[in-house]
Amino acid sequence: MNSDLSGYRKSYEKGALLEGELPNDPLDLFTKWFAEVDNTEGVEEVNAMTIATIGTDGFPKNRVVLLKHYDNKGFVFYTNYNSEKGKAILNNPHVCISFFWPNLERQIIIKGMANKQSEELSTTYFHSRPRESQLGAWASDQSTEINSREILTKNLIALKNQYKDKEIPKPPHWGGFVIIPETIEFWQGRPNRLHDRMFYKKNTNNNWIHKRLAP
């Protein structure tokens, strides 16, 4: 099979990112862009992000997860710590997350270190989830091989009966990772493939500095 995609082309013309518009703190720009994308039709889950990890087999792997919180301490998502990505992060905390928002022709790429979030914060978030999602965290031994989907269904039914009219405890193997950013790159599509790329990095005084990169 040979599929020639060379004719797939698009001109990016929905915005610009100029030096005079850059705040000192990249989190301010992230917040601005996030709100603008969220208020523009075209993206159903604005908080969907791709996370890249280095697996225990030495290979990189990407997958989409959901950002659930961010502040000046970092970017938080939740997972099963025993999953493939959980084990990869615990073995090598260097990760990269990226957001692609085609409705405004924007990307954000963030490299940093991922650390486990506190049990207290993970437990608080766990109990804010729908009850079915709480049960799902127990029902699936994430990333392990199973013979059929019926196993998950049976597990879920058994758990519903076990915790009927009871609080569901947070699994000890489930919780949040907070990604502490070391670099943040903002990418705005421009015509003629001459895109705007603004790159933030912390200096030795732990202050953010930025520069423009060639597209």
CA distances from residue 145 to 10, 58, 151, 209 in whole angstroms, order as listed: 41, 20, 11, 46
DSSP symbol at 71:
E
Residues ≥6 apart with Cβ < 8 Å to 151: none
**Residue 210: CB atoms within 10 Å:** 17
DSSP strands (E only) in 74-165: 74-80, 94-101, 106-116
Which listed residue (63, 131, 193, 212) is catalytic?
193
Number of residues written out for the chain: 215
- Let me know if 193 is a catalytic residue: yes
Report how far residue 141's alpha carbon sits from residue 161's, in angstroms, rounded to the nearest whole number: 19
Residues marked as catalytic:
193
